[in-house]
Structure formats: C-alpha cells, structure tokens
Amino acid sequence: MKLFTGLEEIVSSNHSLAPHTWLGLGGPATYFIEPTSVEQLAQVSRRCRENEIPTYVLGSGANVLIDDAGVKGAVIHLGREYFKQVTPVAGGLRANAGADMGQLVLRCVRQGLSGLESLTGIPGSIGGCVRMNAGGAFGDIGNIIQSVDVMSEGGEVFTRSRPDLAFAYRSSNINAKFILGATFGLGEDDPHRILKQVKQIWIYKKNTQPLGHRNAGCIFKNPRGLSAGALIDRAGLKGKRVGGAHVSQKHANFILADEDTKTSDVLKLINKVREAVYKKSQVYLELEIEVW
C-alpha cells in the first residue's frame, strides 16, 4: 500500500461499509481511512487527489445508501476522537464534524444552552447535518450556525462566517470537500425548560416516525408546498415491499430494512415509489439521501 506509506495505521483495504451506516447495508470500500487529525486528513486527501482516487466523506452514515458492490475509491471516515470533539466558545459551542447530533442536543440540555432543541431526533453527525441543512418541522440547523470550518481537497483550511453562508431547504452553499466543524450561536436558558421542549419533540417524533427500526431518515425531499410522505401514502404505498425493504406504515417517507435486506432492494423500492407517486400525482420525488 505504497500510496499511503506512513499512514498504514489509519488505512484498511476492502473494508465493509455496512456497519458504518444506519441502514446497515452496502459492500466494501477499496480504502477505508480514519484520520486522527486535520493534518492527517489533509495528507490523505492530497494523496488521493494526486493519484486520481475518488474520495467519499462518511460521518455516522445516517443519510447514505451504499451499493451492494461497495465503493471503488477511498472512504474517509471522520469517526476518530478528534473529529468528535465539542468545545465551548463565547455565545455557544463549536462541534467538530464527527460529533453526534443527538449527543450534542443532550449536552446542550445539561448545560442550559438553548437553540438546538429543534434538531431533537435528527440522525447524523454535525458535518453531514451542516452540509444538507438538516432539520424538520421544528427548524433547521442553518438557523443557528455562526461559522463553518472547511478544508479543500488540497488541504487548505479556512473559515466561512455567517454573512458568507446561505442555507435553504436541505441544502447549503458549502462546496468544500470537507467540513471540519461548525460554531453554533446558543442562548442560556433553564435546563428544565429546554428538556421539556426536547421531550415534547421526541414524543412527537416517536409517535410519527419509525425510530426503532433500521432506516436512513427521510428518503425523499418534500416537494415545494407538499409532503413526500403524504404523496407516497396517497399512492397507497405504505407497507410496499421489495425483498427485505419496505415502506414504513407509520411514516411513508421512511424505508425500513429487515435483516436480509440488500441495497438493490431499497433502490428498486425507491424506483417503484417514484413511479407510483408520479402516476398518481404527477410529482417526481427527489432523493434526500445520498447513494454511493
């Protein structure tokens, strides 16, 4: 593995990706790399670029569907301790890209910091949530972001501040290959009041979403002014199954995966859902998840 000479401790070959995703699906990566610092990440990225190796950035794997054949290239997993760090800053917190969103919400509750409650129950790590402006009915993460630290494929690190950032529905104007972390503007509040709101949101989501079953969050984006889940339900697709993959009976914009599911099952079901919704409502559903 001359390509990664000196970095052997953080690189493995033909590494199964399924355990690193919420759906638990997908084949191996040619290279699976877990850098322990920004400096190592920069080295890895430069070597991949110089050798024309495609790179993919993986956080907690909540919003990604990986092909059964796997990924030909380098999957860079920001899962080591450095990339999970959260530190206090004036007026809020800074969270590195690999920090877990759920754990960050609970930390804010304990510390009496208000602003992240709306992200209760949102799956994923900070990097992915920031890039796609994760959120839901209670608000989006972009509303409280003060700055984002990013890195180019060449290893250049820079900070984008609030005036330079733009967030829209499930999108942002962050085009850099790597998000390293983000700073959130939070206010001080009574921990009991924050906890009460978090519990209310959690109960709502538990009652309306299949949180106890393997899934990747919402599969489709909501078309403007419409609900993807309602469109799928209207097409009579709740419970629709292909192999081990099936549309949730609780929320039709979730696809659940049984133990014997293959990625090909999910992809076939996605296509069937799209076709049925278009036939019923003349609306083409756009994917919210990433497919590798």
Which amino acids are annotated catalytic? 170, 218, 288
Per residue in 142-174, is it b (16+ CB within 10 Å) or e — as a string? Answer: bebbbbbbbbbeebeeeebeeeebebeebebeb
What CA dihedral angle connects 19, 249, 261 and 132, to 10 degrees?
A: -40
Residues 6+ positions from 213 with CB-CB distance below 8 Å: 248, 256, 257
**Cβ–Cβ < 8 Å for 98, 126:** yes
**Cβ–Cβ < 8 Å for 154, 116:** no
